Amino acid sequence: MAISVKVIRRPEAARSSYLRAALKGMSLTFRHMVNPRKVTRSYPEEPTELHPRWRGTHRMEVHADGRPKCVACGLCPTVCPANCIRLVGGEDDQGNRYPIVYEIDEFRCIFCGMCQEVCPVEAIHVGQHFENAEYTRERFVYDLDRLMEQEHPVTALWDPSDPASE
């Protein structure tokens, strides 16, 4: 809820009534005292509503059998402007490529969302989540398992036919 700004035309100070002004002020504060306008959000209890295109903590999509969807093509570390993705790819017996190491440093990430846009198999996503405090800096480097564990909704991509998301 936005707080609007009200512009008040001031009466000339020399011709205004002090007592009336004081009583008017008292009645105004009394109305607020008995019926305060609720503009504060009690944050941890009332979570913030995030926009569908909010870009936050990453998430790796998984196949039904629990394997990551990532095919280790190397596009996301290439496109990443902050250079925060480390990818070492490997190949199994059937010739399927898969990531051996996939790490994202959430501290270096600028949450531009280009990794999600560039991913050919829709594996890596940025998500609608931001509450990721940790006690050590090392914990901010998310490895593959941790990225796969994330459960928050993923970010909706920008739709050129609906530029303002309406």
Partner 1 sequence: MNELSPTAFLIASAVKVLAVFTALMVAIMYATWAERRLSAFIQDRLGPNRVGPFGLLQPIADGLKNIIKEETDPATASRFFFVLGPMLSIMPALVTFAVIPFAAPLPTPWGTVDMIVADLPVGVLYILAISSLGVYGIFLGGWSSNNKYALLGGLRASAQMVSYEVGLGLSLIPVMMLAGNVTLTRMVADQQLGLWYILPLSLGFLLFLISAFAETNRLPFDMPEAESELVTGYHTEYSSMKFSMFFIAEYAHVITASALMATLFLGGWDIPFWAGDNFIPYEGGLISGFTAAGDPIPAQLSIWTTLLTLGAFMLKTTFFVVLYIWVRWTLPRFRYDQVMHLGWKVMLPTALAYVMLVGATILVLDQLGVSGGPGFALALTAVSLVATGMFALYLDRGRIITGAAPAGRAARAVPAAHP
The reply on whether position 64 binds partner 1 by CB under 8 A is no
The reply on whether position 9 binds partner 1 by CB under 8 A is yes
The reply on whether position 33 binds partner 1 by CB under 8 A is yes
E-state strands within 72-144: 85-91, 97-105, 124-127, 141-142
Length of the chain: 166
Q: Which is nearer to partner 1, 1 or 64 (CB)?
A: 1
What is the C-alpha to C-alpha distance for residues 100 and 83, in angstroms, rounded to an integer?
A: 18
Which of 6, 10, 63, 137 touches partner 1 by CB under 8 A? 10
Q: Which DSSP symbol is given to 151?
A: -
Helical spans, DSSP H, in 8-124: 18-34, 75-79, 114-118
Q: Which is nearer to partner 1, 27 or 161 (CB)?
A: 27
In angstroms, what is the minimal distance from the CB of 135 to partner 1? 23
What is the C-alpha to C-alpha distance for residues 50 and 39, in angstroms, rounded to an integer?
A: 18
Residues 6+ apart with CB under 8 A from 75: 118, 119, 120
What is the C-alpha to C-alpha distance for residues 151 and 43, in angstroms, rounded to an integer?
A: 21
The reply on whether position 161 binds partner 1 by CB under 8 A is no
Q: How far is CA 112 from CA 34, 42, 82, 137, 141, in A?
A: 46, 29, 9, 21, 17
The reply on whether position 40 binds partner 1 by CB under 8 A is yes
The reply on whether position 17 binds partner 1 by CB under 8 A is yes
Total residues in contact with partner 1, by rule CB under 8 A:
27
Q: Which is nearer to partner 1, 24 or 139 (CB)?
A: 24
Q: Which is nearer to partner 1, 28 or 110 (CB)?
A: 28
Which of 4, 36, 133, 137 touches partner 1 by CB under 8 A? 36
Which of 26, 88, 110, 121 touches partner 1 by CB under 8 A? 26
> Residue numbers of the site for partner 1 (CB under 8 A)?
9-12, 14-22, 25-26, 28-30, 32-34, 36-40, 42
